[in-house]
Structures are given as structure tokens and as C-alpha cells.
Chains A and B, each alone.
Chain A
Amino acid sequence: MARRKTQAVITGISGRLGQLLARRLHRMEGLRVIGIDRRAFSRKPADIEHLRIDIRRKACEDLFRTQDIDVIFHLGLMHDPRKGAGEHHSWNLVGTQQILEFAQRYRVPKVVILSTGDVYGPQSDNPAFITEDAPLLGAQRFAALRDLISVDMFAQSYFWKYPEIETVVLRPAHILGGVKNAVSNYLRLSHLPVLMGFDPMVQVLHEEDAVSAIVAAARPGLRGVFNVVGPDALPLRKLVALTGKPTVELPHFLLPGVVNRMFQLRFADFPAAELDYIRYSATLDGKRARDIMRFEPSFGVREAVEAALRTNIFDGGVEGVEAA
């Protein structure tokens, strides 16, 4: 009997990371890639299959019923401060629950969930090395993260509910590249705001390294929660200096009210709670991923910053990206 192809499902395949992951897997031998995303996948390689449906739809189940899926990469999480809390909760929580239900019902042996390092949240009293068992306090000052924290914890509950599924939860540091996320958007601004008297340590991760970590997480036998950390942490102002752009020094105590009002009026793209990311550190301990997942980043800080600046999403450089 000929060896069956390994079948991988990627949710959120039309996002930047989904596309990168799809292309990376596509280059591997004996692998069939099926994507689920309601958005279009531009310049899709011909033999990648793409189902343009909402992961919350029942139609999604047919895929799992009719195919023997070997691994699910769940990247289809949404974080967009402009969208309401209801849509976030429904998309992220119901969607994740659905995917994990299918995995359990149709015996998918491996599920990799791309959570985020933001679940810990920037706090002045964070330890310099946040380990995977630290409490997820990200939402204590930034309520819009509640659903992502719920997803992370929900995924963790599968470790003991369905131990036969190898569930891996990845919590990457700030991903830089063609992705549309807060930190990449920040670096693409023409003037970078910094807070007077604050210079937190930040960790960045090149998008290709993030994809490498996702691929590494699919290794059979691997399960658990992993922080994914790129090159060494550096002070924010050093990171900002790498862009060569001018900075704007702002006094923090004046900002929250102003920024929130600007966000409401659509003059600002981020709510005031996100100011904490340029105020306090949230640096992760990547030891577990290094030791157990054997993940090593191959891109430095400079390359990651270049990758973020190369793509100017506001000029339409990245299409069909809803969330990273």
C-alpha cells in the first residue's frame, strides 16, 4: 500500500502567517495542505486547497468527516480593536471550540494553536523572564484581550480532557514582518511615539521564525505550552532607532484620555491600553521552546525590523489580511 499523504489543515490561511506557513508546508514532500478562511488567498499555489468558509459554519465539519486530517494549524484568531467584543468572542472562542471538537470527534492526532505572548500583558512588576506557567494577566488593563486569553486557556483544557490529542499552544513574542499586528504597525508609523521616562525591554520575532516554530510544534510526540522567543530582548528605544525614523516623546500621564478619544474619532489606530506596551516590559522565557521543541530563531532584530518596514500595508502591500 502506498503511503498516504500527510494532510494538514490551516485555519486563517489567508492571513500573512497562514500564507507563509502554507507555502512552507507546500514545499515539503508528501504533504497535502488544506486551508480554511473566508478571506481570499492571493497568489495561491495551485495545489493548495482553500475552503472559503467561516470556521464556525457546520459546512466546515464535512472536511473533517471526509478526510483523514493529521494535523490542524489553528492560526485563525482575530484581534482587531476596531471590531466589537461580541464578534471577537464569537469568532475566537466559538471558532476554536469548533476546531477542537472536530479534532476530537474525527481523531486528529495533533492540533497546533497560535496564541500570543500578549496573554501575559505588560506590567511594571513582571519578572524579566515570564515562564509558561505565569498567570495570564494581559486583560487586567486591556479588556480587549479577554477572548484571546480565554482561547488560550480553553486550548489548555484539552491537555487533560482529550489527552489522546497532542495539543500545542504557542505564545510568540511580537511578530515582525508583513503581518498586520500592533507592533509591526507601530514600526511602520512615520513618527514613532515613545513615552517620556520609559524604555521597556521588548522581544521581537521574525515572521519566518514564527512559521518555523509552528512547523517545529507539529513534530509528533510534542505537546504543551511554549513561549516562542526570537533574538535577545532589547530596549524599545534601540528598536525604534533601527527604523531610522524620528520619535515623538509623549508624557504618559496626559495620554490615556486623549488617545481613547482619538481612537473613538478614528484619528488613532490603537486604544490607550496599548500604550502599556511601550511603557512596561513583558519579556518571555523561551527556554522550554529551545530545550523541548528545539526551536532556534534564525533571524536577528535588524532583519525582523527590515521585514516589518519592507511591506507597507497602507500602500496595499499585504492583501486580504484581517488579523495576524
Chain B
Amino acid sequence: MSHDGFFKNVEKLQRFGEAMSHQLTAWTEPGKQRNRIDQLFREVAEAGSEIATALLTPETWRMSTEDIDRRIQHLLAGKNLSDFGTDSFGYSPLDVRKITPVLEFLYRVYFRAEVHGLERVPEGRCLLIANHSGQLPFDGAVIASALLLDRNPPRMVRTMVEKFATALPFFGELCYRCGQVTGLPDNCRRLLEADEAVLVFPEGARGISKPFKDRYHMTAFGHGFLRLALQTNSPIVPIAVVGAEEQTINIYDFKWLANLLGTPSLAITPLMPLIGPLAMLPAPVKYRIYFGEPLTFEGDANDDEAVMATRVAEVKAAIQRLMNQGLAERKGIFI
């Protein structure tokens, strides 16, 4: 056995150490960063008090049981479910009912989501296309919460989930019962043909695991979603999620350990040396979600990649515009 691999890993660790110290000096550089750090502390304090107040006064944000039941009834009404309460994908609105309090807490309290243009999500089939970020897919949960808790009438978003995630115990089961499905073109096509709202993150694992320094720089988009939109005549709703990009600070992607564990990526965050895997949990950033005007495309679903690329670029540009708007409008990361 050669020792090359071992030395390569030592080198990687060294590079990781360098990256970490670089980040630390950048954050603690006197004078220049001072104001920013003060500002961050003020923001965190404000967010903390907002969350504490919300927790003490649940009546200000919690939906009544009847309201939730009415929303779930609405989800049930439009569906052709089996005698056992599920559709062919394993989606069961009654199981969504069980996690609604958790979604409500994340959406209204923890991330204090601010939603713009929800009315732009049409009835019937549509593809929701959003930027993906934050190491863990809370962006998907918050978008789904918006459509479930705030839209009238409510819709259950069907997300195309990375196949690594749906294979996991517990998380996979949770995904399926709540209407999320393995991200396969065939699943997507069938859901669109059944007039569902399908959420796709065309950046996939690339997007969610990108390093902190690349926040708000979208990675390359896959083209599959556009082919499916053309095939099924589905409008595309561009969505920008602002805030999630700062929820978990990925300073180094530990590829070697990720390969060993079989995960798509493994982010090292600044707090990881202190609190271990808990450091993957998101900071209570403020989510701002911008729904754009639906885009419709016409053409051949089997066009060349080059032709597709121009259409995909149009969608990406729409998301970029919404994202720029969100970044310009926000006062801070946590408020």
C-alpha cells in the first residue's frame, strides 16, 4: 500500500488549518471588521429577543387547530388517495398534519420568514425553481411551509430530493410521507402531469454545500427541469431564498471524510471544534423568500444542451434579480 494517500490527507488537513486561520484573522482584523462584528452582535441580540418573545406568546403566531385541520382537509380534498391514505409516492396529508407544528415553529419563529409574491404561485401544475444553500435543506422546508401555511388555498410542495437523502433512515420516511420524492425525472414528470407544484433546486448538492465565501453566487444549474417544463407545459416560478446562505458557515468541505462516510459533502464550520456535529444546525438567520412572475417556455424538450442553456440562463437571471432585490432590501442577516 502506498503512503501517497496518507500524505495527501495530511496536506489536506494542513490546507484546512490554513483556511481556518485565514477566516479567523479576517473576522478579527482590528478596526476594519470591528463595526461589522458589533453590528452582527446587535442583530443576533435582536433576533434572540424576537424568538424569545415569540416563544413566550405563542398565541401571536400559532395557527388554531381548526385552521390547520382546514388546510389539511384542503390538501386531502384535491387528491386521489388510496384506502390507506397515501398516493403512489407515499405522500399522506394526515402525516403532514403531525409535523405542521414543527414547520410552523421554523417558519414563523426560528427563521421569521418574510415572504414576497406568494400569490404568483399559480393553481395547477408548476415548477418552483430556487437557489439552494445552507448545508442542510431548511430552504426547502421554509418554501413548503409558505405554501402550506400562508397560501390560500394551501398547496403541498413536492420537492425533488437528492437520492442520498431519501435513502437515509427516518429522514427518507419523513420525506416520503410529507410528499417529497426522490429527484428523478420520471417522478417529476408524473407529479407535474398530476398538476402538482414541484420544487426543484437545479444546483442540487453543489449548491447546498458551497463554501461560505461563495454565498449568493449560484453554482451551475442542471438543465433537466427545463426539459420537463417543456414536456409537460408547466410554468416555472423563479424563487430566491435570501438568508439561508448564511445559516451555516462552511469554511472547508472535508471531501476525504465525506467520501469515507458516503455523504455528498461534509462541511466544517467554525464552531465544530467546540460543539461537534451540532455546529451543522442553522443559525437563526432571517429568511426572505421572493416568488417571481411565472415564466413559460415554448420549444422542443429534446433541443440541444446549448439551446437549453440559454433558457436555463433566463430562469437563473430571474432568480438573480429577485436575489439582488432581497439583498438590497434587507437590513441585516438576522433582522
Interface, chain A (partner B; CB < 8 A): 124-129, 195-201, 231-235, 238, 252, 280-281, 283, 300-301
Q: Is B182 an interface residue (CB 8 A)?
A: yes
Knowing A201-B86, A234-B82, A235-B84, the reply to whether A124 touches B190 (Cβ < 8 A) is no
Q: Which of B28-36, B98-106, B167-175 contacts A (4 or more CB under 8 A)?
A: B167-175
Task: Judge whether B182 and A129 touch: CB under 8 Å.
Answer: no
Contact of A234 among B86, B89, B190 (CB under 8 A): B86
Q: Is B79 an interface residue (CB 8 A)?
A: no
Place the interface of chain B in its size category: 20 to 34
Measured in the bound complex, the distance between the Cα atoms of B167 and A195 in whole Å is 13
Knowing A125-B182, A127-B184, the reply to whether A197 touches B169 (Cβ < 8 A) is yes
* Cross-chain pairs A/B with CB under 8 angstroms, 17 sampled: A124-B163, A125-B163, A125-B166, A125-B182, A127-B184, A127-B187, A128-B90, A128-B181, A129-B88, A197-B169, A198-B172, A201-B86, A201-B88, A232-B82, A234-B82, A281-B90, A301-B84
Measured in the bound complex, the distance between the Cα atoms of B168 and A301 in whole Å is 28
Contact of A128 among B167, B169, B187 (CB under 8 A): B187
Measured in the bound complex, the distance between the Cα atoms of B184 and A129 in whole Å is 11
Task: Judge whether A233 and B88 touch: CB under 8 Å.
Answer: yes
Task: Judge whether A196 and B167 touch: CB under 8 Å.
Answer: no
Measured in the bound complex, the distance between the Cα atoms of B175 and A128 in whole Å is 14
Measured in the bound complex, the distance between the Cα atoms of B83 and A232 in whole Å is 8
Measured in the bound complex, the distance between the Cα atoms of B82 and A124 in whole Å is 22
Task: Judge whether A196 and B84 touch: CB under 8 Å.
Answer: no
User: Shortest beta-carbon distance, A306 to chain B, in Å?
Assistant: 15
Max chain B CB contacts within 10 Å: which of A195, A197, A235? A235
Identify which of residues 138-182 in chain B touch chain A, using a CB-to-CB cut-off of 8 Å: 163, 166-173, 176-177, 181-182
Chain A residues whose C-beta falls within 8 Å of the C-beta of B176 in the assembled complex:
199, 201
Measured in the bound complex, the distance between the Cα atoms of B173 and A300 in whole Å is 24
Chain B residues whose C-beta falls within 8 Å of the C-beta of A125 in the assembled complex:
163, 166-167, 182, 184
Known: A197-B168, A301-B84. 9 other contacts (CB 8 A): A124-B166, A124-B182, A125-B184, A127-B182, A129-B186, A196-B169, A197-B171, A234-B83, A280-B167
Question: A196's closest neighbor in chain B, by CB?
Answer: B169
Task: Judge whether B187 and A232 touch: CB under 8 Å.
Answer: no
Contact of B173 among A199, A283, A301 (CB under 8 A): A199
User: Shortest beta-carbon distance, B143 to chain A, in Å?
Assistant: 22
Measured in the bound complex, the distance between the Cα atoms of B87 and A232 in whole Å is 8
User: Shortest beta-carbon distance, B272 to chain A, in Å?
Assistant: 24
Q: Rank and list the top 4 A-B pairs by shortest CB-CB distance, nearest first.
A: A197-B169, A124-B167, A232-B82, A197-B170
Task: Judge whether A195 and B169 touch: CB under 8 Å.
Answer: yes
Chain A residues whose C-beta falls within 8 Å of the C-beta of B168 in the assembled complex:
197
Q: How many A-B residue pairs have CB under 8 A?
A: 73
Chain A residues whose C-beta falls within 8 Å of the C-beta of B84 in the assembled complex:
232, 234-235, 238, 301
Question: B88's closest neighbor in chain A, by CB?
Answer: A128
Task: Judge whether B86 and A198 touch: CB under 8 Å.
Answer: no
Task: Judge whether A129 and B190 touch: CB under 8 Å.
Answer: yes
Task: Judge whether B172 and A197 touch: CB under 8 Å.
Answer: yes
Chain B residues whose C-beta falls within 8 Å of the C-beta of A233 in the assembled complex:
82, 86, 88, 90
Contact of A301 among B83, B167, B177, B186 (CB under 8 A): B83
Question: B181's closest neighbor in chain A, by CB?
Answer: A128
Chain B residues whose C-beta falls within 8 Å of the C-beta of A235 in the assembled complex:
84, 86, 90, 92, 177
Measured in the bound complex, the distance between the Cα atoms of B83 and A125 in whole Å is 25
Chain B residues whose C-beta falls within 8 Å of the C-beta of A281 in the assembled complex:
90
Measured in the bound complex, the distance between the Cα atoms of B83 and A300 in whole Å is 10
Chain A residues whose C-beta falls within 8 Å of the C-beta of B82 in the assembled complex:
231-234
Question: A237's closest neighbor in chain B, by CB?
Answer: B173
Measured in the bound complex, the distance between the Cα atoms of B92 and A297 in whole Å is 24
Measured in the bound complex, the distance between the Cα atoms of B187 and A125 in whole Å is 10
Contact of A232 among B88, B186, B190 (CB under 8 A): B88
Identify which of residues 164-218 in chain B touch chain A, using a CB-to-CB cut-off of 8 Å: 166-173, 176-177, 181-182, 184, 186-187, 190
Chain B residues whose C-beta falls within 8 Å of the C-beta of A127 in the assembled complex:
182, 184, 186-187
Question: B84's closest neighbor in chain A, by CB?
Answer: A234
Identify which of residues 81-123 in chain B touch chain A, using a CB-to-CB cut-off of 8 Å: 82-84, 86, 88-90, 92
Question: A124's closest neighbor in chain B, by CB?
Answer: B167
Task: Judge whether B169 and A198 touch: CB under 8 Å.
Answer: yes
Chain A residues whose C-beta falls within 8 Å of the C-beta of B182 in the assembled complex:
124-127
User: Shortest beta-carbon distance, A73 to chain B, in Å?
Assistant: 30
Chain B residues whose C-beta falls within 8 Å of the C-beta of A232 in the assembled complex:
82-84, 88
Task: Judge whether A128 and B190 touch: CB under 8 Å.
Answer: yes
Chain B residues whose C-beta falls within 8 Å of the C-beta of A231 in the assembled complex:
82-83
Question: B182's closest neighbor in chain A, by CB?
Answer: A125
Chain A residues whose C-beta falls within 8 Å of the C-beta of B173 in the assembled complex:
197-199
Measured in the bound complex, the distance between the Cα atoms of B186 and A301 in whole Å is 26
Chain A residues whose C-beta falls within 8 Å of the C-beta of B181 in the assembled complex:
128
Chain B residues whose C-beta falls within 8 Å of the C-beta of A201 in the assembled complex:
86, 88-90, 176
Measured in the bound complex, the distance between the Cα atoms of B83 and A196 in whole Å is 24
Question: A126's closest neighbor in chain B, by CB?
Answer: B182
Measured in the bound complex, the distance between the Cα atoms of B90 and A238 in whole Å is 11
Measured in the bound complex, the distance between the Cα atoms of B83 and A127 in whole Å is 22
Question: A128's closest neighbor in chain B, by CB?
Answer: B89
User: Shortest beta-carbon distance, A287 to chain B, in Å?
Assistant: 11
User: Shortest beta-carbon distance, B37 to chain A, in Å?
Assistant: 41
Chain A residues whose C-beta falls within 8 Å of the C-beta of B163 in the assembled complex:
124-125
User: Shortest beta-carbon distance, B26 to chain A, in Å?
Assistant: 40
User: Shortest beta-carbon distance, A82 to chain B, in Å?
Assistant: 30
Measured in the bound complex, the distance between the Cα atoms of B171 and A196 in whole Å is 11
Measured in the bound complex, the distance between the Cα atoms of B168 and A125 in whole Å is 11
Measured in the bound complex, the distance between the Cα atoms of B12 and A246 in whole Å is 51
Question: A283's closest neighbor in chain B, by CB?
Answer: B88
Chain A residues whose C-beta falls within 8 Å of the C-beta of B92 in the assembled complex:
235
Chain A residues whose C-beta falls within 8 Å of the C-beta of B169 in the assembled complex:
195-198, 252
Question: A134's closest neighbor in chain B, by CB?
Answer: B186
Measured in the bound complex, the distance between the Cα atoms of B88 and A157 in whole Å is 32
Chain B residues whose C-beta falls within 8 Å of the C-beta of A300 in the assembled complex:
83
